[in-house]
Amino acid sequence: MHSNLAEHARCLYGDEYQPAPACSLEHQHCFVEELTFADADSILAMLRELCPHVVDGHLPVWVRNLAYRLVLLQRPDEPALMRQAAENLWLHGPDWDHIAADLTKQANALEAG
């Protein structure tokens, strides 16, 4: 039905950059399952396509948080991704500010060597 993760997310949550097909929120569980088992490249492609400027997009905050968490589990040693995830958390905090700060510290430690 959907050719990729970004298309599936657009169908459910809409997109301010392209027309969104009408998908029923009843199919949200299928999207969550697809996201859960997606590879990091597919998840990052979805985030870049639907939220290219971090502060925009129609993806719910919980989807963004889950997406970054899944990417970091697959790529735990990439400081740039940690900072990107931290930036997302700070934008939608303050509940997650302490996690964002920890991610930034981890990124700094990885880069320091």
pTM score: 0.87
Alpha carbon distance 4, 6 (integer Å): 6
Per run of 10 residues, the mean pLDDT along the chain (length 113 residues) is: 84 74 74 95 94 81 95 97 94 90 97 92
User: Which of these, 47, 55, 93, lies nearest to 72 by C-alpha position?
Assistant: 47
pLDDT at 1: 67
Tokens of 2: 């959907």
Report domain extents, the chain: 5-112
pLDDT at 55: 77
Taking the mean position of all CA atoms in its chain, how far away is CA 101?
18
